[in-house]
Amino acid sequence: MYDEDPGKVIGKAMPDTPPPARFDLDRIVRDGYHARRRHRAMLGGAATTSVMAVTAVIAMAVHLSPGDASGGLDAAESEQVAPAPTESAVEDPSVAGYPYSEAWENREPRTAEGREVEAALTEAFEPVLTEGGLWGTEEHPEELYLTARQRPGNYGQTWLRGYRAERVEEVGGLMGYLREVFQVEVMPPGGWTAEPGPVTEQLFPQHLISDGPHYTDTAPEFTSTALDDGRTLMVADHGCAYDLAVTYPNGTGLRVGWDADCEGTAYPVSLEALTEAVLAVPEFDLDTTDLAPVGELLDVPTGWVHDPQEAWERSEETWSMTEETYAMAAEAIQDLHPGSTLGSGTPAAFGGGGRGETVLHSYLASGTLPFQYEDHLDGVTRDLPFELRYYLPGGWVPGYSEIGGHGPYLTHCDAGADCNMWDDGDGSTWVFTERTESREAFTEDSPGMPYTEHELEGVYFSPDGWAVGVWAGWHGDLSIDADVLGDILRSVPAPFYDEDDVPQIPAG
């Protein structure tokens, strides 16, 4: 247990003029609605049954605010009806947001609201997806699987909501990345602005569409057109790719991206046909019951943006600095605890993998400490396993969020954990969390034998902007406390990293 006096523990252990359009917009508006009516008649108003499109994503568990997640529902939950849409009383939705809600995100498109959006998007985009080779192939099955999506506003101090579908392609083989070929998202009011700007989570409010370069080094041909029915259509023509966005009179937004032939496999689509599909999407009355103005926000250092082509975690320089960091850390820990082991470390970028999504830059390694315990799952006596994690500056603030909270803090306090935080007075911050849980081991020799599971974690936040954390977990009784972890955190060196390489807001 922690010393009741933080000072004693410290002593021991221690974020206006658009160019002319190149197509007949009036005809597209007219023909798009006619096509939608014809297609809806053919479908009989029914939505296409969806199955999950499989995308290989490797993620490592870490105490961070949640990003995208999805989960299934049982039959009773899948038939739930969304609350009746309400007209938001928020004066300026762009600086408003939603609370994080696992229930909202995990419902996927199975509420009446989600099914309506999925059916309409399927109807509108099936023709161009088929024509462009993104529909009806082994790699891209005939479905437009929609997920309910939450993404952080101002690094998780508020949240934006939307329904999203995409098509991706693997580029570059084993050490390559996922290229987003097609994306479509419908967003209720809250946390975004129609004013063109960089499409990135680093900003709040976020921009629905960008008029800057993204797919190439050249800025797109950008147009914004007010339609007679109150909608506004924005088009960014990048030549080999297109971004389109529509704002509706009720404040709902739609955005679409299509990388036709900038890299990888060509998936051809005409801008005219894509615009027709976009304009065939109707206005949705989405639920905004939880929308509320955002109050005072913490000042969070600018975070890193996911970069699929020049991934930080794949560079030789990053691997070299990681190995150098852990070589020195291993030596320091071995001096402190002879017989300990520590791996050479792996760089990892934790967070989202889509355009504009932010990630944390981190180094990870695991090892053992010469404190032995008996593993109640197999009865073997083992050295204590531990993990040593470095967190580089960018996109977080020191401390932890309260139980059930989500935000820009590097760690959070789990339910049932004992959590403590204090400052040294020199700009350093310390966080320690401890969790103890009684369990039963079910083995062949001793079914139902009770044992205690322990987890202990300490994190040191340097005034220079980086942090290092150590985690240990064991069964039964072991004389490990915050002092032991604190000594390790004080002994290890600062991480090696390029201090001149700082996060940047993308051009588009």
Tens digits of residue pLDDT in 385-411: 999 999 999 999 999 987 667 789 998
* Domain with 198 in it: 25-51+62-293
Q: Which runs of E-coded beta strand occur in 338-446?
A: 341-342, 346-351, 358-374, 381-391, 397-401, 409-412, 417-423, 429-442
What pLDDT, on the 0 to 100 scale, is given for residue 8? 32
In a domain, 56, yes or no: no
Per-residue model confidence as pLDDT tens digits over 70-113: 333 233 333 333 444 444 479 999 999 999 988 887 766 678 99
Q: Which two tokens stand for residue 422?
A: 């204090």
Torsion of CA 332, 338, 343, 344, to 10 degrees: 40
Same domain, 213 and 76: yes
Euclidean distance between CA atoms 276 and 262, whole angstroms? 22
**E-strand spans in 196-297?**
206-207, 221-226, 232-237, 241-247, 253-259, 292-293
- Grade residue 9 by pLDDT with cuts at 50, 70 and 90: very low
* 342 and 197 housed in the same domain: no
pLDDT for the residue numbered 370: 95
pLDDT of residue 277: 98
Q: Judge contact between 433 and 419, C-beta under 8 A.
A: yes
- The helix/strand/coil state of 365 is strand
At residue 25, the pLDDT reads: 53
Q: Are residues 265 and 408 in the same domain?
A: no
Least confident of 53-62, 279-288, 313-322, 390-399: 53-62
Same domain, 310 and 234: no
Higher pLDDT, 491 or 46: 491
Domain shared by 183 and 249, yes or no:
yes
Tell me the mean pLDDT in the region 313-327: 96
CB 457 within 8 A of CB 489: no
Higher pLDDT, 440 or 97: 97
Higher confidence at residue 34 or residue 474?
Answer: 474
Which amino acid is residue 461, in one-letter code? Answer: F
Same domain, yes or no: 289 and 307: no
In this model, does residue 33 exceed pLDDT 80?
Answer: no
Least confident piece of the model among 30-39, 164-173, 323-332: 30-39
Last residue of a domain, one of 238, 272, 293: 293
Between 158 and 444, name the one with better pLDDT: 158
- Kindly state whether residues 255 and 336 are assigned to the same domain: no
258 and 211 in a common domain: yes
For residue 406, the model assigns a pLDDT of: 79
Please compute the mean of the pLDDT values over residues 259-270 and round it to a whole number.
Answer: 95
Question: Residue 58: what pLDDT?
Answer: 26
Q: What is the pLDDT of residues 335-369, one digit of tens each?
A: 999 999 999 999 999 888 889 999 999 999 999 99
Residue 380 or residue 289, greater confidence: 289
CA distances from 443 to 16, 199, 372, 385, 446 (A): 72, 52, 21, 22, 5
- pLDDT classification of 437: cutoffs 50, 70, 90: confident
Torsional sign, CA 390, 395, 397, 401: negative
Which residues on neighbouring strands pair with residue 158, listed in sequence order? 153
Is residue 331 in a domain? Answer: yes
Q: How many CB atoms lie within 10 A of CB 54?
A: 7
For residue 205, say if its preceding peptide bond is cis, omega within 30 degrees of 0.
Answer: yes
Q: Residue 315's beta-bridge partner residues?
A: none
- Of 291-295, 330-334, 422-426, the range with the lowest mean pLDDT is 422-426
By CB atoms closer than 10 A (0-12, 13-18, 19+), residue 404 is: exposed
Quote the mean pLDDT of the chain: 82
Is 126 part of any domain?
yes
Q: Is residue 13 part of a domain?
A: no
Q: Which of 197, 195, 121 is nearest to 356 (CA)?
A: 197
CA distance 148 to 50: 14
State which of 239, 258, 293 marks the end of a domain: 293
Share of residues in the chain with pLDDT > 90 (%):
62
Do 434 and 324 lie in one domain? The reply is yes
- Give 416's pLDDT tier (boundaries 50, 70, 90): confident
Q: What's the whole-model pTM score?
A: 0.80
pLDDT for the residue numbered 289: 95
Residue 309 within a domain: yes
Same domain (yes/no): 340, 237: no
Closest CA to 350 of 387, 309, 396: 396
- Please compute, for residue 351, the number of CA atoms within 13 A of its CA located in the half-sphere on the CB side: 30
Looking at the structure, do residues 258 and 388 belong to the same domain, yes or no? no
Q: Which residue has the tokens 């999805």?
A: 70
Position 261 pLDDT exceeds 90: yes
Count of domains observed in the chain: 2
Shared domain for 124 and 151, answered yes or no, is: yes
In three-state secondary structure terms, 123 is helix
19 lies in some domain: no
Q: Who wins on pLDDT, 289 or 102?
A: 289
Split at pLDDT 50, 70, 90, the class of 415 is confident
Mean pLDDT across 170-174:
76
pLDDT in tens, 45-68: 333 322 222 222 223 233 333 333
Is 380 exposed, middle or buried, given 0-12, 13-18 or 19+ CB atoms closer than 10 A? exposed
Q: Does some domain include residue 10?
A: no
Q: Percent of the chain at pLDDT above 70?
A: 79
CB 161 within 8 A of CB 295: no
* pLDDT at res. 404: 67
8 A C-beta contact, residue 222 and residue 235: yes
Kindly state whether residue 12 falls inside one of the protein's structural domains: no
Both tokens of 152, joined, read 């952080």
pLDDT in tens, 372-391: 987 776 778 889 999 999 99
Picking from 293, 313, 340, the residue at the C-terminal end of a domain is: 293
Is-contact 119 134, C-beta < 8 A? no
Mean of pLDDT values over 136-148: 84
Whole-number pLDDT of residue 475? 82
Q: What is the mean pLDDT of residues 228-240?
A: 98
* Lookup: tokens for 94: 């762009």
